[in-house]
Structure 1
Amino acid sequence: MIIWFVDQAATPEKETVLAHLRHIVCTLRICTDQDACVTFMTNICEAKIFLILPSDMNSFVERIRHLRQIEKIYIFDKPSNNIDQETFQLNLSTLCEQLRQDVELCEFDCIAVTATPPLTSNSDSTKQTAEFLYAQLMKELLCQFKLDENAQNILLNFCRQHYAHDNEQLSTIADFEQTYRPQKALVWLNRSCFISRMLHRAQRTREIDAIQKLAFFMKHIHIQISNVFEQTFALTQNPLIVYRGKTMLNDEFEILIKNNCRGLLSCSTFLITNVDKNVAMNFLRRRIATHADRIAILFEIHADPMKHNTMSPFISLDNIDLNDESENSRICFTLSVIFRIESVEKTDEQSMNNMWTVKLILIDDHDPHVYNLIEPLRSNDVHANPLFHLGKLLITMGDYDHAEQFYYKILADTSVLNRPHRLSLMHKGLGSILMYKGEYNKALEYLHKALEVSLSYLPSDHPDLASIYTMIGSCYSHMANYALALDNYKRAMQLMQNNIQPVDQQSIDDVHSCIIHFSELLKHQK
């Protein structure tokens, strides 16, 4: 996203600048008030902001310098008595060229990485594991996705609205509409245009609407990689070593990489690497030159074609007609491919003070660690309610806003209304999310809906109702309505005790503790 701070006056020069900036990114915002600008930037944590300011705003820079979402700040002045038109045009051209380079570097660097600790680790990795499983479940769903003949038109209509002011991208959209074929998916992934940018952003930010619109394109890429892999790499015995550069902030590097050595790592995108180590090193040098506070990471990836098949296909882009000018051999791995973090070592490099080499081993289909993590995602229940389980993983990750979007989207599906079990799950899921967000009145509304729907197909003494009563009790306790909280906890306990099936002892203990606590609380209130 580009944010340009400029005065409100409309001038021909202002429109010229806007036209140039729209060719670089589609998301462009004009700011005229400092306080409003700070508030806006603070609230969009997922964005990467390229901020353009006039030269007289040093105090403003000090106010916003700490914001991690700011990628870079540029100084650019509009024409004035001190700046003639020729100098203005030269400055604008210089600004736009630098922006193009910086945006390209940023997009290449912004691959979403998830990781899980090794099996022997005792660390609390619930959130990390949920992030890892979310990416893998998205991949599982993509493989099952049924191609809709109208999917391409839906995507292109959306993109035309999104790029309504960018004639260059509108022309590219028209080209896509006329020439796209499934066997050309990798060509379009490799092309810096509307669809590749949209894909990279959607995978990084978990935008479910965008991912659904792009699903046909992602599946075409995966199929193309799998087919070419079977025809080429699967027949060779030569091990492969490729490289990819990435930068991270120190805390992210410690949590995701160093603390998970011997664990698993996955990139939730189609990962493009290079057989030439110097290409990755040159990227890191350019990135660190303007982001000295970041850790430079060189991923050294070892892949043995003889050990991998359906789960981890990869191909050489040399075998694809990409019509680009790249002279380096690049290898593209499929979506959310999984590696083992073999080693993490500090590297001496003169141009970078803080560089690490991370050795990754591409796992095979029979890896027991991966099997234990992934196999539950292939259960009948997950396949029957995939979006519900994606929402549950998002809740575990603490990403309540995206989880809420998932459940609202499912409730908008009319087929769910005729399936009370699924409908109850959705209401219960929304109740859980709204409780986490502190919206207790709204949470109660959905939890009571979940109870009402459940009672339409379950007897009133069914043990499956216990979890709903427990959540209602918890909601009332947060609202300081302790009498109703106690009533619901007692009802939950009664259902648990009447259950002839094994019940999680921790759940019983938790509810029992709540009953004792609120009984004592109400006794003292009297």
Structure 2
Amino acid sequence: MNATPQAPVDGGTSENIVPPLNIRFPTASETISETREDVIILWVGAVPHNASQDQFDKKIQQVNHAIRLYDDLKLATDAGDPSNMINCFTNSLEYIELMKQEKFLIIVSYSTPMTSDCVREYLAEVNQKRQVDSILILDISNKLDDSCFASFTKVSLFHDFDKLFAEITKQVELILLQLVAFNLFEQKQRTTKDLTKESASFLWFQVLVDALKKMPKNKNSFKSMLTMCKNYYNTRKKHLDEIAEFERDYKVSDAVKWYTKESFLYRLLNKALRTEDVTSLYLFRTFIVDLSSQLEMEFEKMKLKEDELIVYRGQQMSESELNKLQHNEKNLISTNGFFSTTRRKDIAMGFAKTSSARTDLTPVLFEIRASTKLGKVVFADITSLSEFAREKEVLFSLGAVFQIVKFEYDNTDNMCKVHMAATDEGSKDVAKLVNRTSDSGKRMLFGELLLDMGKYTESQKYFETMREQMNSDDTEVADIYHNPGRAYGYKGDFKKALENFNRAYDLRSRTPVTSDYSLPDALNSLGVIYGEQGEYGKAKKRFNDALTMVEQHQTSDTKSKVLHIAQSHSNLGWIHFLKGEYQQALGFHQQSLNSRKQLLGDDFLLLADNYSSIGAVQHALGQFDKAMENYNIGFKIRQLNLPSDHPSIASIYQAIGAVHHESG
């Protein structure tokens, strides 16, 4: 582990491939949620006067299963109490805040005792919410006009319920079409420790299918998936009939057909992929593998017929989404899911130019070149397998990677055009990161990327399940205690982190001396947790023991030994810093810097930690000029090696700002 003024919970080594797993995630009944779909319809206000609430629910649920009613306004009308109206608005806002992953379609049913001012106040709040896609206002009384809401980009006004219902249907379809989550990867990132969360997601999808393929399949695999689906759609006859048909008739060769039906399976699977819901993806694992395998078979057929395809995708995007693409020309991009495209440019243009209730979206046409000679990007023309043959669909499998070649605005077609090329570079980056990272072997990569994505509980489950399936004398068991320790440490559960790290240390100490540094790594991890708990004496002892162990280690790899000694010096510098022993801290950090600089050169990323640590000590001593000098050197190294949005760059910005503030 690396101990700096912002010491991360880190460590562990292994070099084996991702293993077959039988992960114990929650059962289907344990994972039921009203938010399993991507779109939630929020109805605020009284239901139409000519329909009971039950009839109304059924009508709306023909379009979308997830609906939530806030009809306290009807009570307010009956009781003459406008305060219920305020409660209605407030409660709906609180619900929106709880749901971070879903998209909302909000319908406001305007009626007494509402006022246009009160509606505008509510709209001012929800119009700016990232989760809110569109807002439709129903005013059967004809008291409102469009001019009331001209300043709101997401609002449309309707005076007829049937027209409103048609728009709801259209908007739900449009939202589902647009819900593609892009992950960007900047190739500056040299190790898994340097990853932004987005880049970790990018790499995680590169290894997802392989990991799922290694998980065992049995007759209960589909049963668990279908139990979850049945429980979720327990009142929806249409979807229950679809589930029964799937259970009765499904075979592996029908995977593409079922995916393109846009049925219960399409919606729930895409939501699980987009939100990286590990529990749901485990339940869907057999179908995901079937679909991926069928696409691989079709891809092999395509190789015999075509060398390259040009395909298209049309959708609408917000300004922030467009800026993200524009600022990442030449970088790599992937999607959280299967990526649908078409050979027909006219169909893609039609999707891009579909009329929307929103005025802040721009039509975008993606033009993608894809060579069939690629080894890692899998795609297939599924025209003969799809429910929508006229669309000439080409479907890219999970983990497909593209390079953004060019971004332009086409004044003739009045839309943005993004030119991309499918590439194998994503798989090369996985290989480079695994090979370049001494403490992240292939067996651990899947779970460690979950840690980098901030999915600490999922990572913890992954490693703990691996541990349950290994023999107690397996040499890797210690590593699989170490990684849950990291997860607990990141979550701030230091007691459980210590339990896991101590177990890892005990197991490693029983094995014969090896050529690696797993035992001092375990001591360093323990030291960091003790330091975080304020037990500085215990922390210092672990760091000193680790240093002694490394110094006594017999090896021909002098470079590795010196770098491990430098790590121990850095850790000791950190603990002296926490104790307020700044001169001792400075000495250890300087020793660490000198060793690393001699072996790694001036611009290696690890040196930025040393410079920022030295700057922090000088900052505490009131040596502002020296602190600023070292912070700036650290900043330049991180800027050279990391994406501009990496948290490490933000933290050093804050440190520089603090020095400016305190020094006047």
Normalised TM-score (structure 2): 0.66
SS at match of 2:219: coil
Rounded Cα–Cα distance in structure 2 between residues aligned with 1:163 and 1:451: 46
Q: Give the one of 487, 491, 494 matched to 1:443.
A: 494
- Conservation of the 8 A alpha-carbon contact between 2:463 and 2:483: no
Amino acid at match of 1:277: K
Q: Give the one of 353, 360, 368 matched to 1:301.
A: 368
CA gap of 1:460–1:230, structure 2 versus 1, over 3 A, is closer
SS at match of 1:293: coil
Q: Which residue of 2 aligns with 1:131?
A: 201
CA gap of 1:297–1:155, structure 2 versus 1, over 3 A, is same
- Write the deviation string for residues 350-381 of structure 1: whole angstroms up to 9, x where unpaired: 65xxx4322112225xx5x74243466699x9
CA gap of 1:453–1:509, structure 2 versus 1, over 3 A, is closer
Map 1:227-238 → 2, pairs under 5 A: 227-231=297-301, 233-237=302-306
Q: Which residue of 2 aligns with 1:97?
A: 166
- Conservation of the 8 A alpha-carbon contact between 1:493 and 1:511: no
Asked if 1:106 corresponds to 2:175, the answer is yes
SS at match of 1:318: coil
Q: Give the one of 390, 397, 420 matched to 1:360.
A: 420
Rounded Cα–Cα distance in structure 2 between residues aligned with 1:496 and 1:54: 70
Q: Which residue of 2 aligns with 1:329?
A: 392
Q: Which residue of 1 aligns with 2:576?
A: 516
Rounded Cα–Cα distance in structure 2 between residues aligned with 1:217 and 1:454: 40
Q: Which residue of 2 aligns with 1:494?
A: 548
SS at match of 2:398: coil
Q: Which residue of 1 aligns with 2:100?
A: 45
Asked if 1:75 corresponds to 2:114, the answer is no
SS at match of 1:197: helix
Rounded Cα–Cα distance in structure 1 between residues aligned with 2:512 and 2:216: 40
Shift of 1:485: 3.7
- Write the deviation string for residues 315-352 of structure 1: whole angstroms up to 9, x where unpaired: 222222x344x53322122222122222222332565x
SS at match of 2:65: coil
Rounded Cα–Cα distance in structure 1 between residues aligned with 2:582 and 2:341: 63
Rounded Cα–Cα distance in structure 2 between residues aligned with 1:133 and 1:202: 17
CA gap of 1:451–1:69, structure 2 versus 1, over 3 A, is same
Map 1:191-210 → 2, pairs under 5 A: 191-210=261-280
SS at match of 1:222: helix
Amino acid at match of 1:72: S
Q: Which residue of 1 aligns with 2:408?
A: 345
Q: Give the one of 215, 236, 244 matched to 1:174.
A: 244
- Conservation of the 8 A alpha-carbon contact between 1:391 and 1:403: no
Amino acid at match of 1:62: A
Rounded Cα–Cα distance in structure 1 between residues aligned with 2:176 and 2:435: 32
Asked if 1:65 corresponds to 2:127, the answer is yes
- Conservation of the 8 A alpha-carbon contact between 2:479 and 2:504: no
Asked if 1:373 corresponds to 2:430, the answer is yes
- Conservation of the 8 A alpha-carbon contact between 2:381 and 2:393: yes
- Conservation of the 8 A alpha-carbon contact between 2:261 and 2:387: no
Shift of 1:45: 1.5
- Conservation of the 8 A alpha-carbon contact between 1:427 and 1:446: no
Q: Which residue of 2 aligns with 1:27?
A: 66
Query: Paired residues, what number?
Result: 491
Asked if 1:269 corresponds to 2:337, the answer is yes
Q: Give the one of 170, 181, 185 matched to 1:116.
A: 185
Larger-Rg structure? 2
CA gap of 1:149–1:460, structure 2 versus 1, over 3 A, is closer
Q: Which residue of 1 aligns with 2:314?
A: 245
Shift of 1:394: 2.6
Rounded Cα–Cα distance in structure 2 between residues aligned with 1:473 and 1:4: 53
Shift of 1:209: 1.6
Normalised TM-score (structure 1): 0.81
Rounded Cα–Cα distance in structure 2 between residues aligned with 1:273 and 1:300: 9
Shift of 1:423: 5.5
Amino acid at match of 2:293: I
- Conservation of the 8 A alpha-carbon contact between 1:274 and 1:331: yes
SS at match of 1:451: helix
Q: Which residue of 1 aligns with 2:294?
A: 224
CA gap of 1:74–1:342, structure 2 versus 1, over 3 A, is same
- Conservation of the 8 A alpha-carbon contact between 1:392 and 1:403: no
Deviates more, 1:474-483 or 1:457-466: 457-466
* Greater RCO, 1 or 2 (C-alpha within 8 Å, sep 6+): 2
CA gap of 1:67–1:416, structure 2 versus 1, over 3 A, is farther
- Conservation of the 8 A alpha-carbon contact between 1:275 and 1:329: yes
Shift of 1:158: 1.1
- Conservation of the 8 A alpha-carbon contact between 1:315 and 1:332: yes
Rounded Cα–Cα distance in structure 2 between residues aligned with 1:422 and 1:456: 9
Rounded Cα–Cα distance in structure 1 between residues aligned with 2:529 and 2:439: 27
> Unpaired segments of 5 or more residues in structure 2?
1-39, 73-86, 142-158, 585-664
SS at match of 2:238: helix
Shift of 1:194: 0.6
Shift of 1:169: 0.4
> Once superposed, what is the RMSD of the aligned Cα atoms?
3.7
CA gap of 1:64–1:458, structure 2 versus 1, over 3 A, is same
CA gap of 1:474–1:261, structure 2 versus 1, over 3 A, is same
Shift of 1:183: 0.6
Rounded Cα–Cα distance in structure 1 between residues aligned with 2:433 and 2:202: 13
Shift of 1:142: 3.4
> Unpaired segments of 5 or more residues in structure 1?
80-89
